[in-house]
């Protein structure tokens, strides 16, 4: 949606205000330069209106600048104008102010590029393990884009161009073709993981960018074929363009569909596991009630209990008296082993169950809670963009504090994930939580990082 809005804004500027853009270009440069500076700070320091309690639509408006959508739309209109036929109406509108549009796009691109570079480029020096693989290559692509942008942008100013040799200037501007190709590759790499995880917005975005860039490529090749009188190349170019769009669209649709089916399968499996666990708990409650004092006639299982009673007398592991069994259960160790070795789980008193639960859960939680040692532990996991690190504090066997120490995730998604996941973990005293919608990958990474940190506690 932001891409379409950005294209509409650029077309409005080009169609209705071309004269103002040429006559008052310096004013436009100053305004755009200020916007670029603001964009840098918003991007570098992960500003989020939602995190400050402001309306969510503010983040959507700012994303036109921080995500580089507006500068991308400006670059696209500039490069498309050069590929359109000479008599095309849009070309006639854009070509007179093409220089100004290029400079405006360069201002905004530097705010976007250096803002993200402030966060990501230092991680390139630390190695590929700090970033997701696709993000790592996207950052390298960004670095190349900025290196190409600087000479292209500087030589767009008229006073610089006049001091240059025309041939040299033209050779530098030919690098724009590589620049445009890297823009598309950069977008693909950054959105690749989102498409793989089934995010429809990312898939639609990739399809739209593919259509736009393939359209530009086809128009550019058609223009070249006509000028060189090689019209026989027109049909192959059109077929290749259609195939590329169909290939990318098919991949995006299949990825979203596969991810959606995988999530449904996980949900069904979780429900089935919960039902199975409830049935097992119900089955274990029957012998417990019988041990608590229900008669064989009331339970309807007299013969079964008599058979088990005789097997208890013969078993040497059960002790010689009921009193011995009670002492073993109160120790929290031998009684737990004895209860698990008994046939069908019978022969334990209610006091044995309580002591077994206490032995396995010193924090007073459920029997599945591990024996965490008190202290503060660090854990990490791979998030949406790269590695995130958390700090987990354990006191009296309970999780008392969770802190996100470092990350390269985007706002407001990481704030949503931290709020939902950490609250669930602290409430249940378990390193488990449901993923927060719109921040699934980050939520799962937070849970895994907490689990990794707590595993160090158990190890001690």
Domains of the chain: 2-196 (no CATH), 375-459 (3.90.1010)
* Cα–Cα distance, 115 to 411 (Å, whole number): 14
* Cα–Cα distance, 290 to 298 (Å, whole number): 9
* Cα–Cα distance, 292 to 106 (Å, whole number): 79
Q: Helices (DSSP H) in 155-233: which residue ranges? A: 158-161, 166-173, 175-196, 200-227
3-state secondary structure of 382: strand
Task: Determine how β-strand 398-406 pairs with β-strand 387-395.
Answer: antiparallel
Give pLDDT, residue 111.
96
Q: Kindly list the averaged pLDDT for each block of 10 residues, start to end, along the chain of length 460.
A: 91 92 94 97 92 88 94 96 92 93 97 95 86 93 96 94 94 94 95 90 94 94 88 88 95 91 68 62 49 42 41 38 36 38 38 38 46 91 93 93 93 91 94 90 94 83
3-state secondary structure of 389: strand
* Cα–Cα distance, 127 to 136 (Å, whole number): 9
In the structure encoding, which two tokens stand for residue 425, read together? Answer: 């973990």
* Cα–Cα distance, 381 to 91 (Å, whole number): 50
Q: Specify the DSSP class assigned to residue 54.
A: -
**Bridge partners, residue 379, by sequence:** 390
* Cα–Cα distance, 181 to 217 (Å, whole number): 10
Q: Specify the DSSP class assigned to residue 128.
A: G
* Cα–Cα distance, 429 to 380 (Å, whole number): 19
3-state secondary structure of 395: strand
* Cα–Cα distance, 439 to 415 (Å, whole number): 9
Among 98, 105, 139, 121, smallest CA distance to 36 is for 105
Cis check for the bond before 412: say yes or no (omega within 30 of 0): yes
State residue 47 phi and psi, 5-degree precision: -65, 140
In the structure encoding, which two tokens stand for residue 67, read together? Answer: 């995500």
Q: Cβ(216)–Cβ(180) under 8 Å?
A: yes
Q: Cβ(417)–Cβ(442) under 8 Å?
A: yes
* Cα–Cα distance, 422 to 393 (Å, whole number): 12
- Chain-centre distance of CA 206, in angstroms? 16
Burial class (CB in 10 A: 0-12, 13-18, 19+), 247: exposed
* Cα–Cα distance, 195 to 201 (Å, whole number): 8
* Cα–Cα distance, 446 to 381 (Å, whole number): 7
Give pLDDT, residue 390.
96
Q: Specify the DSSP class assigned to residue 342.
A: S
* Cα–Cα distance, 406 to 423 (Å, whole number): 19
* Cα–Cα distance, 195 to 259 (Å, whole number): 9
Give pLDDT, residue 314.
41
């Amino acid at each position: 949606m932001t891409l379409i809005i950005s294209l509409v804004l650029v077309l409005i500027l080009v169609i209705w205000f071309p004269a103002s853009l040429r006559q008052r270009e310096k004013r436009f440069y100053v305004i755009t330069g200020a916007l670029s500076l603001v964009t840098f700070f918003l991007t570098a320091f992960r500003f989020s209106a939602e995190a400050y309690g402001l309306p969510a639509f503010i983040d959507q408006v700012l994303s036109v600048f921080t995500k580089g959508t507006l500068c991308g739309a400006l670059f696209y209109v500039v490069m498309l104008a050069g590929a359109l036929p000479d008599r095309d109406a849009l070309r006639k509108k854009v070509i007179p102010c093409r220089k100004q549009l290029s400079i405006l796009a360069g201002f905004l691109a530097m705010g976007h590029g250096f803002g993200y570079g402030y966060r990501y480029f230092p991680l390139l020096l630390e190695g590929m393990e700090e970033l997701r693989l696709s993000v790592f290559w996207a950052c390298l692509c960004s670095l190349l884009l900025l290196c190409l942008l600087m000479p292209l942008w500087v030589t767009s100013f008229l006073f610089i161009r006049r001091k240059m040799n025309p041939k040299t200037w033209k050779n530098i501007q030919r690098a724009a073709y590589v620049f445009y190709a890297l823009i598309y590759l950069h977008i693909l790499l950054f959105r690749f993981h989102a498409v793989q995880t089934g995010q429809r917005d990312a898939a639609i975005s990739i399809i739209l960018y593919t259509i736009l860039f393939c359209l530009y490529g086809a128009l550019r090749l058609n223009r070249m074929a006509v000028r060189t009188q090689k019209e026989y190349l027109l049909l192959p170019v059109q077929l290749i363009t259609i195939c590329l769009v169909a290939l990318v669209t098919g991949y995006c649709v299949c990825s979203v569909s596969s991810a959606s089916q995988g999530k449904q399968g996980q949900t069904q499996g979780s429900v089935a596991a919960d039902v199975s666990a409830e049935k097992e708990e119900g089955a274990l409650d029957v012998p417990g009630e019988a041990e608590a004092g229900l008669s064989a006639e009331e339970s309807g299982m007299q013969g079964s209990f008599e058979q088990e009673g005789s097997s208890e007398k013969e078993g040497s592991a059960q002790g010689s008296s009921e009193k011995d069994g009670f002492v073993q259960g109160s120790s929290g160790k031998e009684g737990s082993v004895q209860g698990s070795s008994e046939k069908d789980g019978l022969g334990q008193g209610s006091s044995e169950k309580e002591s077994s639960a206490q032995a396995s859960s010193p924090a007073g939680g459920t029997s599945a809670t591990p024996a965490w040692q008190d202290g503060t532990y660090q854990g990490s996991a791979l998030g949406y963009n790269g590695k995130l690190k958390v700090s987990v504090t354990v006191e009296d066997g309970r999780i008392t504090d969770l802190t996100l120490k470092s990350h390269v995730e985007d706002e407001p998604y990481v704030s949503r994930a931290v709020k939902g996941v950490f609250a669930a973990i602290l409430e249940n005293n378990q390193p488990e939580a449901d993923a927060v919608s719109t921040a699934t990958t980050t939520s799962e990474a937070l849970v895994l990082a907490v689990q990794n940190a707590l595993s160090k506690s158990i190890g001690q």
